[in-house]
Amino acid sequence: MEFGPQPELIESSLSRFMEQAGVRLTINIVRLSTERGWSLEVVNEHGTSTVWDDLFATDHDADAAFRNALAKEGVEAFLGK
């Protein structure tokens, strides 16, 4: 079976690593080159991933959603349960 070319993954300049309260997080904001919406994933230092279900219109909207969740719920929201 042959597959066509895969769409390119575009990473936002807002993707980054951060540490808060001793917890290291990786914030991934990406989209496929063939799509308009941006996805948001936060990965903690243990590899546990939190992914938003909805896509965002802009990478800045995705970053704002992460910042909002961090402000409301704290870094504990990304520790995984």
Query: Using an 8 Å Cβ cutoff, are 10 and 31 in contact?
Result: yes
* Rounded CA separation 54/39 (Å): 7
Please tell me the pTM assigned to this model. 0.89
* Rounded CA separation 37/73 (Å): 25
Q: What are 40-68's pLDDT values in tens digits?
A: 999 999 999 999 999 999 999 999 999 99
Q: What are 3-42's pLDDT values in tens digits?
A: 778 889 999 999 999 999 899 999 999 999 999 999 999 9
Query: Using an 8 Å Cβ cutoff, are 17 and 24 in contact?
Result: yes
C-alpha to C-alpha distances, 42 to 6, 8, 21, 71, nearest whole angstrom: 24, 21, 16, 14
Residue 2 has pLDDT above 80, yes or no: no
